[in-house]
Amino acid sequence: MPKPILCLDFDGVCHSYTSGWQGVETIPDPPVDDMWSALLRYHTYFDIHIHSSRSGQPGGIPAMMHWFDKHCPIKGPAESAYDTGGTTVYYNTAGDTVLKLSFPRDKPPAFLGMDDRVMLFTGAWPDAQDLLAFKPWNK
């Protein structure tokens, strides 16, 4: 039975995004605190997909994959595919898979998503002023 998909936004959830938008292929900031430990825990239960506004732009997926490789505390990527979205599989020194990340071009049909710039819809439409007052977690 396949694991449910957990779709994580890249900027502001994985990438700390403290410098703001620098271009599709420019990703200067470090990971959000404890991201790697969370991903390792989630990998047991979910098929993890990383998605962003970068995903559909030329160079966006390879840039995100490279960012993960650069910041990875695990041995390193053993497999990468940039053509149809991409997947990176991280192995430990014993050769066991410890984390698999997928990078789809289109937003997947996820069981759950995490994004720093969304509001949970509860069935009641919020006031426009409440929407305009929205602030992400790090502001």
Report pLDDT digits (tens) over 70-125. 898 876 555 555 545 588 887 776 777 788 899 999 999 999 999 999 988 899 99
Identify the CA nearest to 21 among candidates 71, 57, 75.
57
Measured CA to CA, the distance from residue 99 to residue 44 in angstroms comes to 9
Q: What is the pLDDT of residue 91?
A: 75
Report pLDDT digits (tens) over 124-133. 999 999 999 9
Region label for 77, one of left (φ > 0), alpha (ψ between -120 and 50) or beta (otherwise): beta
- Residue by residue, DSSP assigns 40-103 as HHHHTT-EEEEE-TTTTSTTHHHHHHHHHHHH--SSEEEEE--SSS-EEEEE-TTS-EEEEEE-
Q: What is the pLDDT of residue 80?
A: 58
Measured CA to CA, the distance from residue 116 to residue 9 in angstroms comes to 8
Tell me how far CA of residue 108 lies from CA of 10, 25, 55, in angstroms: 14, 22, 12
Report pLDDT digits (tens) over 4-46. 999 999 999 999 999 999 999 999 999 999 999 999 999 999 9
Do 3 and 46 meet the contact criterion of CB atoms below 8 Å apart? yes
Do 103 and 61 meet the contact criterion of CB atoms below 8 Å apart? yes
